[in-house]
Structure 1
Amino acid sequence: MHRPFTAAVLGASLLLAACHPTFNWREVRADPAGLTVLLPCKPDEGARRVPFGDREVELRMLGCDAGGATFAVAYTDAGDAGQVVGALALWKAATLANMRAAGAPSEAAAEIKGADGWPAPVRVSAAGRRADGSAVTAQIVWFARGTRIFQAVMYADKPEPEAAETFFSGISLS
């Protein structure tokens, strides 16, 4: 007598689970930066002052967690055009050091709509360790527009190429 009911409940549960995708992609705008990004969940937003080279800057960030991965975009102002290349290199080195990147990360050109061609956007894939010592993989893109510099990152336990491609291809500057 209870078997048909149990089967119906199980079937309904599976059907409902199929209706809730792991990634619920949405377009999010960060208006002061002219940034539009496609995120798989409703983002948290924040800003704080952080040391950056020989000065302190306001770093703005928006991001969220979905499907066991963290998706985030951060940006700040390099101050002047002559500082952009050095600031991006500093940010890249700090990010890879912070995640204790193991081995040589792979690096390739990236395409970000509206980003400056120089310095060219770059995409890095790296494996490393979180602060708690657990393994993490990262897909990271650094890019610039004028004196604003940006970092888009996806951290996950294991590579998620489809989610990473959707995330990075959904970034644009206006």
Structure 2
Amino acid sequence: MTLARCLIFSAALLGACSPALNWRSVALDDVPLALMLPCKPDRAVRDVAWGTQQLSVSMVGCEADGATYTLAHAVVQPQDAAVVMGDWQKALYQQLQIPDAWQPLPGQVLVWPGTLELPQARQVQWQGKNAQGKTVYADARWFARTQGQQVRIYQAMVLAPGKPVAATALQSFVQGLQLR
């Protein structure tokens, strides 16, 4: 199972559905990051074959008001961070059926205090299709941070069917990403 399929499948399974957005702070014990989610989060860890190595991808997320809010992360060797992050983006774009051959989507470089300056660290918004061919809107942010002798890469994403998630909900999610 590809990383993108694993993450989308996990995201679909995560979380209790809630018609209202009930924002709460979520602390991640093993990760120096806290986030805000609009619903009670579920957690999953999957080992994913990645080239010649296995990556343990951890995910926390939930579904609220029809949208899926997730944060996925994995630890890699410093020399692998840019390649893994780029491949992760490519796999997700392919999974969400972005038109044409994969090209990096225009996006803004994303560098927060304490994160690594990598060309693959970015924020993008796009419209694609899910496995059933229905329109989905995604807003994703990828960033990386040194953690000891390794690098932890992150993907924070909101995936909404039919129409983009409300700007206020997206803003709450993004502002709730707090590096510690």
> Shorter-normalised TM-score: what interval?
0.7 to 0.9
Indicate the residue corresponding to 1:110 in structure 2. Answer: 110
2:62 to 58, 61, 64: 64
The sequence identity of aligned pairs, in percent, is 32
Which stretches in structure 1 are left out of the alignment for 5+ residues?
A: 1-19
Q: SS at 2:94's partner residue?
A: helix
Indicate the residue corresponding to 1:50 in structure 2. Answer: 48
Q: In terms of mean alpha carbon deviation, does 163-172 or 145-154 score higher?
A: 163-172
Corresponding position: 1:25 with 2:26:
no
One-letter amino acid of the structure 2 residue matched with residue 152 of structure 1: A
Deviations 1:42-85 (A, max 9, x none): 1000101011233111110000000110000000111x111111
Higher radius of gyration, 1 or 2: 1
Q: Does the CA-based 8 Å contact 1:119-1:144 persist in structure 2? A: no
Alignment of 1:1-174 (within 5 A): 22-78=20-76, 80-102=77-99, 105-110=105-110, 112=112, 114-118=114-118, 121-146=121-146, 147-157=151-161, 158-160=163-165, 161-174=167-180
One-letter amino acid of the structure 2 residue matched with residue 124 of structure 1: V
Once the two structures are TM-superposed, the CA of residue 111 in structure 1 deviates from its matched residue by 5.3
| Structure number having the greater helix percentage | 1
Count of aligned pairs: 154
CA RMSD of aligned residues (A): 2.0
Q: SS at 2:82's partner residue?
A: helix
Once the two structures are TM-superposed, the CA of residue 153 in structure 1 deviates from its matched residue by 0.5
Once the two structures are TM-superposed, the CA of residue 106 in structure 1 deviates from its matched residue by 3.7
**Alignment partners' CA distance in 2, 1:151 and 1:98:** 15
Deviations 1:99-120 (A, max 9, x none): 1123674411335454233457
Which stretches in structure 2 are left out of the alignment for 5+ residues?
A: 1-17
